[in-house]
Amino acid sequence: MGRGERGALSNRVPPPGAAAAGTAPGMAAPWEDVLRDGPAIQEAAAVAVDAALLQGVLMRTEGRPNDSDVVNFAPFTLLPSAVPSALFEQAYAVQQDFNMLVDAISQNKEFLEHTLASTIEVDDFTARLFRIHTQVLEEGLAQSVFLGINRSDYMFDSGVDGTPALKQIEINTIAASFGGLTSRTVAVHGQVLKVLGKPQEASRLLPNNPSRGLALGIAKAWELYGCPSAVVMFLVEEVQRNIFDQRCVENELWNRNIAVIRKRFRDVFEKGSLDEARRLYMDGQEVAVVYYREGYVPSNYNEQNWEARLLLERSRAVKCPDIATQLAGTKKVQQELSRPGTLERLLPGHAEAVTRIRATFAGLYSLEMGAEGDKVAAMAIADPDRFVLKPQREGGGNNLYGEELRQVLEKIRDSPQRTSYILMDKIKPRPAMNYLLRAHSPLQVSECISELGIFGVYVRQGSELVLNEAVGHLLRTKAVEHADGGVAAGVAVLDTPYLV
């Protein structure tokens, strides 16, 4: 969704009687009646699964993750979830600011060095990334076009008085997924609502096609690279269950007559090369853009893969992301951004953007060695249910809560190891009832919470931002008993927002 479409959202009127009895205004969807109608739910679920298969909301199976002979539907909610329209609009309105911020951080070596200094001491993965970053800068950047694809994730905190507020969980600057499959789920939920006798509500579901927007950014970077015969390389994992999500973006590029190749780190190690101008070649083909869907966790790397990463970073090809932009998405940077004055230093002359960004921050606390960090650790140990302990990791399933948080912090409270974590206020969204549809799982109603992600795309040539857009959204929903984890991690499911 580009800038031109953003204003259209504010003209949407909430459906009549959207807030059902016993729930906070602005958070209930108008299908409380349906949730208790067993036969109608059974029929709708059967229709929903077939609709998902028809629309291509697909994943490969766990048993056969690298071939498409057997596939199944990606897990999703039976019904769209209610999202407060004001918060939805706020999330879109701040996305271009976040794009600008990530881009500014990626160009500020001193800020990254200062912010990550203690983390590098205790976290080998961040240290290796930073070493490559430093090496590439010392050699001199060959890359002159920069492409950022990120996804900023939020929850709706119910607050003390029950008024929902938009609070950022994190920003993903590498391999932000599900822009493809979420482009297909609106049609599925529209069909379900019609089957349940709610055609008017079905017509209110917003169109959403992040895969087109992601492809637009990649295509712009490819064009600015300036070699019409060059290809776009998707750098992919060894295990590729989520291939259809990637194919959505890939097909958008083929539709623009931009050739796409899919390679793994090991292919780059074996067959990648640079010429004297540091142009990147794979099997004799020049590569204009490297789009990472891999490389965000330590398990993605062995020594050969680190060498391949260095080769890619040294090249002239447009990396999405380059290593500085990956570092800009670390949890430690997130925590540093919440310190008074930091945003103003990174975005001078952008006071309104700073205000919009800061409004989305939850409480973030440093665990640096020293009196301040000691105080923070003691506060969390005393009241662990108020907080989340986050390591410098992407991919879901890494955060610590409650008793586990307390145990880990007690163990490392006096050790520099604690600086590899940040502490964040726990966001407390208001749950709603829904059905989570998963292959081979019984149909049962669950108490659920949702997480809204906004996809951002920007392209910079030299020092000029030539593209800066919010290009779509992703709503993921999980049962409240699951504290952490994304769709690929097997906990949250795909959803569609219903604005109220």
Out of 108, 395, 396, 438, pick the active-site residue.
395
Catalytic, 316? Answer no
Out of 204, 241, 476, 478, pick the active-site residue.
476
3-class secondary structure, 259: coil
Out of 26, 81, 170, 406, pick the active-site residue.
170
Say how many CA atoms lie within 13 Å of 116 toward its Cβ: 30
Out of 177, 208, 209, 420, pick the active-site residue.
177
State the first-to-last Cα distance of the chain, in angstroms, to the nearest integer. 19
Q: Which residue in 424, 379, 418, 429 sits closest to 401, CA to CA? A: 424
Out of 81, 172, 211, 450, pick the active-site residue.
172
Beta strands in 44-140 (DSSP E): 58-60, 71-73, 76-77, 81-83
Out of 167, 390, 418, 460, pick the active-site residue.
390
Catalytic, 151? Answer yes
Q: Which residue in 447, 474, 480, 478 sits closest to 75, CA to CA? A: 478
How far is the CA of 352 from the CAs of 94, 343, 355, 357, in angstroms? 10, 11, 5, 9
Catalytic, 390? Answer yes
State how far the Cα of 241 lies from the Cα of 65, in Å rounded to an integer: 5
Beta strands in 200-298 (DSSP E): 231-235, 260-263, 272-274, 280-282, 285-292
State how far the Cα of 323 lies from the Cα of 334, in Å rounded to an integer: 16
Q: Judging by beta carbons within 10 Å of its beta carbon (0-12, 13-18, 19+), is residue 53 exposed, middle or buried?
A: middle
Q: Which residue in 317, 240, 318, 304 sits closest to 271, CA to CA? A: 304
State how far the Cα of 309 lies from the Cα of 24, in Å rounded to an integer: 49
28, 18 in Cβ contact below 8 A? yes
Out of 293, 331, 332, 418, pick the active-site residue.
331
Catalytic, 476? Answer yes
134, 140 in Cβ contact below 8 A? no
393, 432 in Cβ contact below 8 A? no
Out of 394, 399, 469, 478, pick the active-site residue.
394
Strands 81-83 and 497-499: parallel
Catalytic, 426? Answer no
Out of 56, 99, 151, 300, pick the active-site residue.
151
Catalytic, 332? Answer no
Residues 6+ apart with CB under 8 A from 80: 29, 189, 193, 205, 495, 496, 497, 498
Catalytic, 331? Answer yes
Beta bridge partners of 456: 150, 470
Q: Judging by beta carbons within 10 Å of its beta carbon (0-12, 13-18, 19+), is residue 464 exposed, middle or buried?
A: exposed
Active site residues: 151, 170, 172, 177, 331, 390, 394-395, 476
